[in-house]
A and B are shown apart, each in its own frame.
Chain A
Amino acid sequence: MEYSEEVRRLFDTLPHCGELAAGAGPIVAGEAAELERGAWLRFEARLADGAIVDAAFRAWGCPHTLAAAALTAARLPGWRAGTPPPVDARSLAGELAVPADKLGRLLVLEDALQSLLRRASELQSAPPGG
């Protein structure tokens, strides 16, 4: 199995891996697991002023999956409801040189990401105090 330098770097350091500490701003989470596909991901994001300001992930999967999760968490800050997701399976596959037979794992990541963004959108559109 070949791994790009970027996959190696992200796997070795796993930036944004863990959970967000309680603090200012609500935290939302999104999760997806398809163990038979080899991926289980959970994202957390903190919201402030209608945007994601911090993000973290936990993931079980191959090095490509963990690297993709780290990259996704890094790209989440700045996202606002109504805008496209910061990454998708295809862009991650290209950026990290993920083999075609692992695309299914990135689709699981996409599911977890969409779940997170949906919850973030719902929270932002909810009436204050509602």
Chain B
Amino acid sequence: MNTAAGRPVYLDYAASAPLEPRVAELMCACLRDPALQANPSAVHRPGRAAAAVVAQARARVAALIGAGPEAIVFTSGATESVNLAVLGTVRAAPAGRGHVVTARTEHRAGLEACRELERAGHPVTWLRPDAGGRISAAQVGAALRPDTALVSLMHANNELGVLTDLVAIGRACAERDVPLHVDAAQSAGRVPLDVRESGVALLSFCAHKLGGPKGIGALYLRRRPRPALRPLLFGGGQEGGLRPGTLATPLIAGFGLACEIAVGEIVKEEPRVRALRERLWAGLQPAAPVWRNGAAEPSVPGILNVCFPGIEGESLLFALDGQLAATSGSACSSASGEPSPVLTAIGRSELAAQASLRLSLGRHTTAAEVDAAAALLIAAVQRLRRAAPPGAIERIA
């Protein structure tokens, strides 16, 4: 029950969205054009031509989040952007101000950057979400201390899709003059996002989650008041000295166009994808018991995280292999994959986390694909449950 083209149903947009054909065309043209092969930092004519492409893309990327182009620092992706924001801000903070507030449910980029700070002696407060996966402004406010240097949180959780109330948390941070960094890798281009309304000081996002190429991302850095930031890399003076290295013109051009497409389509796509997600959830009910992990709203439109009690996650993915592409509730896809810390943080047992699947939809997902995915999942779940010893549904939950 694959797509008409014989490809598996792709429900892994949260991991990476397919490259937009228009973006691919632009990048190919950019790669082929001899006039655009120069270093965009060079002052000669070819260099200026490449710089113009970068400048146009920078404006497009900035527009996606309501920022000015001067506030955008290009990076290699969201992971680098998050590391630059977290490590760079705390390392630039005045002596005696090195405390960080973050959540247990962050993406590994944020988790590992904060653990690195902990290893260096910085105190970190790890907020625990509620059963829906939400972190509240009240929690953040209560965690702030006189020595807090940074609050770093995701906008949309990468596994659950649950949205954080940026405006309320931004207000709590602003009242204490603490910069707020937001990992918006899952929300940028999927829900309207305006940094001017949220009080965000730094914001990380990337191209490949919204139909752009892999290998390019950005850090938004508020201009006024501008948070202090120490670079992670040293070399040339590109990106204001914050991210040295020759700019990748074709990747940046592709990122820019992907952002422009997202801006143009978000009003239509957000409700369409949200409706498809709910159609998928309804379509899975014949596989009951099936649980929804995380709160249904507020959320980004395309992520549905479900638990099938009685199921072993690796076998479920294997049963779907070649027919449906999705991500398991394990932290990694290895055989000994640890259960997702996000799912255990919201109260799921380790076994329930391993019986969970993240299904993520996007711009090219169709109703027919959603229906096919539901049918595939129901068949696989029922087959594995029939194979399991009696009582598995009650014990594997």
Contacts and interface: CB of A to CB of B under 8 A. Distances in A.
A61 B333 contact: no
A90 B333 CA distance: 25
Given A17-B387, A59-B389, 5 more contacts: A35-B351, A38-B312, A62-B314, A101-B336, A102-B335
B104 to A, nearest CB: 21
A40 B389 contact: yes
A58 B388 contact: yes
Given A31-B389, A40-B388, A61-B315, A1 B310 contact: no
Contacts of B315: 11, 61-63, 66
Contacts of A80: none
A75 B319 CA distance: 24
Interface string B321-344: 000000000000111100000000
Contact of A59 (B318, B319, B383, B388): B388
A18 B389 CA distance: 9
A62 B389 CA distance: 14
Interface in B375-397: 383-384, 386-390, 392, 395-396
A60 B335 contact: no
Contact of A35 (B318, B384, B387, B395): B395
Given A35-B395, A99-B335, A60 B389 contact: yes
25 contacts: A1-B314, A11-B318, A11-B319, A14-B387, A17-B386, A18-B386, A33-B389, A36-B350, A38-B312, A41-B389, A58-B387, A58-B389, A59-B388, A59-B389, A60-B310, A60-B384, A60-B392, A60-B396, A62-B314, A62-B318, A62-B335, A66-B315, A66-B387, A99-B335, A101-B335
Nearest to B349: A35
A64 to B, nearest CB: 8
Contact of B334 (A1, A61, A64): A1
Contacts of A31: 389
B383 to A, nearest CB: 8
A14 B351 CA distance: 23
Nearest to B355: A60
Contacts of B333: 1
Closest CB pairs A-B (n = 4): A60-B388, A58-B389, A62-B314, A42-B389
Nearest to B385: A60
A98 to B, nearest CB: 9
Nearest to A104: B336
Contacts of B396: 35, 60
